[in-house]
Amino acid sequence: MDRGARSRMIIFGLEGTAWNLSAALVDESGAIYEKSATYTPARGGIHPREASQHHAEHMRAVVGDVLAQARQRGLKLEGVAFSQGPGLGPCLRTVATAARALSLRFDIPLVGVNHCVAHIEVGKWQSGARDPAVIYVSGANSQVLALRQGRYRIFGETLDISVGNAIDKFARSVGLAHPGGPKVEELARKAKNYIPLPYTVKGMDLSFSGLSTAATEAAGKHDLEDVCYSLQETAFAMLVEVTERAMAHAEKREAMLVGGVGANARLGEMMRIMCHERGAEFFLPPRSFMGDNGSMIAYTGLLMLKSGISTPLDQSHVRPGYRTDEVPVSWA
């Protein structure tokens, strides 16, 4: 048996809101083990029903592998956390069904976790940020948030599609496979010119749809490298502007970048420069905790269980439109 296993609170977490089915074990001292199965669409973007079929097909192997690890290490599970939303309905239902079954099988509490809150909590845990303004940018979400009066309040967000979706859509339109984010970043490194593209910040909110379309149109007339670079520069400058204003409003001395698009080195660099210029500290969690992962759900479940929150079966329905600011953050 692992040393100290009796006094450790071990939580099993299950993520599967979109492209990544991922199960993990964590305790307070760290992420113990994680196993994932990634859905990659044969063509086009993520198809909700195909993604949920992928998750259903891989559920037994992914969950079984993590449970086998727990057994081998002599770890006793004390809770099952699952991503309750936001996300794609069919994917959420597949994940919730598996989580309910595990909770019943082991007779341990079930905890429904807000996926966006989990990105933030795992980011703080892994980067050491204490009270940051958060820029959360992923395939489905683009939000700027900060903890105020017990909730992660949304200071600004996209009014249409997320920045990740905008880049992925553009990438597909020029023949790059999904997900396009990393490929666009690679091409942008070789750029020589900046091409002006629509910069749309409305108050504290953002719009990326027109930018994505304009980049697609520009790709017919300019070098692809230059368009990739200009798309990134424009989109990221918009995000950094709103984050800086949120920091000023909420009087935060820290900023933290989370979500899959946070893996982009240029976005990290722009955030670092902005923070440096205003004498604030910038926090970036390790890459493995940036995109969707099971550890972030397990860790947030652990925080919730420790503060006395669990989810009865009859309240474990999926919540595709679950908003970040609906969650009372009683553990912070």
**Which residues lie near ligand AMP (CB under 6 A)?**
138-140, 164, 167-168, 179-182, 185, 259-261, 263-264, 291-292
Closer to ligand AMP by Cβ: residue 154 or 261: 261
185 is in the binding site of which of Mg ion, ligand AMP, none (Cβ under 5 to 8 A by kind)?
ligand AMP
Closer to ligand AMP by Cβ: residue 119 or 151: 119
Q: Which two tokens stand for residue 283?
A: 């926090």
Question: How far, in Å, CA of 2 to CA of 176, rounded?
Answer: 46
71 burial type by CB count under 10 A (0-12 exposed, 13-18 middle, 19+ buried): exposed
User: Cβ 76 to ligand AMP, closest distance in Å?
Assistant: 30
Closer to ligand AMP by Cβ: residue 114 or 138: 138
**Whether 243 contacts 133, CB under 8 Å:** yes
Closer to ligand AMP by Cβ: residue 74 or 182: 182
User: Cβ 109 to ligand AMP, closest distance in Å?
Assistant: 27
User: Cβ 119 to Mg ion, closest distance in Å?
Assistant: 6
Between vectors from CA 112 to CA 4 and to CA 326, what angle results, nearest 5°?
125
Closer to Mg ion by Cβ: residue 116 or 214: 116
- For strands 10-15 and 77-85, give the pairing: parallel
Closer to Mg ion by Cβ: residue 86 or 132: 86
User: Cβ 108 to ligand AMP, closest distance in Å?
Assistant: 27
Beta strands in 51-185 (DSSP E): 77-85, 110-114, 133-137, 142-148, 151-157
Compute how many other C-beta atoms are within 10 angstroms of the C-beta atom of residue 148.
16
157 counts as binding Mg ion under rule CB under 5 A: no
168 is in the binding site of which of Mg ion, ligand AMP, none (Cβ under 5 to 8 A by kind)?
ligand AMP
User: Cβ 258 to ligand AMP, closest distance in Å?
Assistant: 8
**Whether 113 contacts 81, CB under 8 Å:** yes
138 counts as binding Mg ion under rule CB under 5 A: yes
292, 304, 311, 318: which one contacts Mg ion (CB under 5 A)?
292
15 counts as binding Mg ion under rule CB under 5 A: no
Stretch that binds Mg ion, among 136-144, 241-249, 268-276, 322-330 (CB under 5 A): 136-144
Closer to Mg ion by Cβ: residue 233 or 292: 292
Question: How far, in Å, CA of 326 to CA of 59, rounded?
Answer: 29
**Whether 115 contacts 83, CB under 8 Å:** yes
Q: Please choose, from the candidates 84, 82, 94, 99, the residue with its C-alpha nearest in 3D space to the C-alpha of residue 48.
A: 94
User: Cβ 62 to ligand AMP, closest distance in Å?
Assistant: 16
CA atoms within 13 A on the CB side of 63: 24
Compute how many other C-beta atoms are within 10 angstroms of the C-beta atom of residue 7.
7
Size of the site for Mg ion (CB under 5 A): 2
Q: Tell me which residue has tokens 């009014």.
A: 159
User: Cβ 141 to Mg ion, closest distance in Å?
Assistant: 7
- For strands 281-283 and 142-148, give the pairing: unpaired
Residues found near Mg ion in the complex (CB under 5 A): 138, 292
